[in-house]
Amino acid sequence: MSVSPNPEFEIEKLGRHHDLTQFDCGNTTLNSWFVKYAWTNQQADSAKTYVALIGDRVAGYYALTTGSVHRHESPKRIAKGLANHPIGIVLLARLAVDRTQQGKGLGKALLFDALTRIEEAADIVAVRAVMVHAVAETARQFYEHFEFEPSPVDPFQLLLLLKDLRKALK
């Protein structure tokens, strides 16, 4: 079942039947995690991975998990009004696009699919923000373009307040 408005690809939860071995985003760490750990983490309920398919070929993926961030690690807008306790977040743990599809809007489509799923989950489980760890300067700029704010302790750790996510999806 496709949740993508783009007829060129479908986005679905990772299954055992998906061939991950041909995927290459150009980043060894992201490639390796996808092939070696995505399915294992999914089976262990450690992270849920979604894949973008063009035909039977995996063209991109993202992985989601939950976590928390300390107040001092988050922008003031995210910590505002909260007690001095860890802040519940959904971590966009990985997002990668195969080299053959880079620059065609698939990264944006994957991000919006992830944000849509997070927004739906936030109706069931409380979450204050979405967090990403950008792997490079270009990735940091990509997330900042979509209103993610850098952490005061690490500019490559970015957060998006849930109310901003909801505005973006309207």
Write down the catalytic residue from 50, 61, 62, 143: 143
62 tagged catalytic:
no
167 contacts: CB under 8 Å, gap ≥ 6: none
Place of tokens 């998990």: 65
Contact 69, 159 (CB under 8 A): yes
Report d(CA 141, CA 133) in Å as an integer.
12
Number of Cβ within 10 Å of residue 77's Cβ equals: 13
Q: How far apart are CA 146 and CA 143, in angstroms?
A: 5
Catalytic residues, which ones?
A: 143
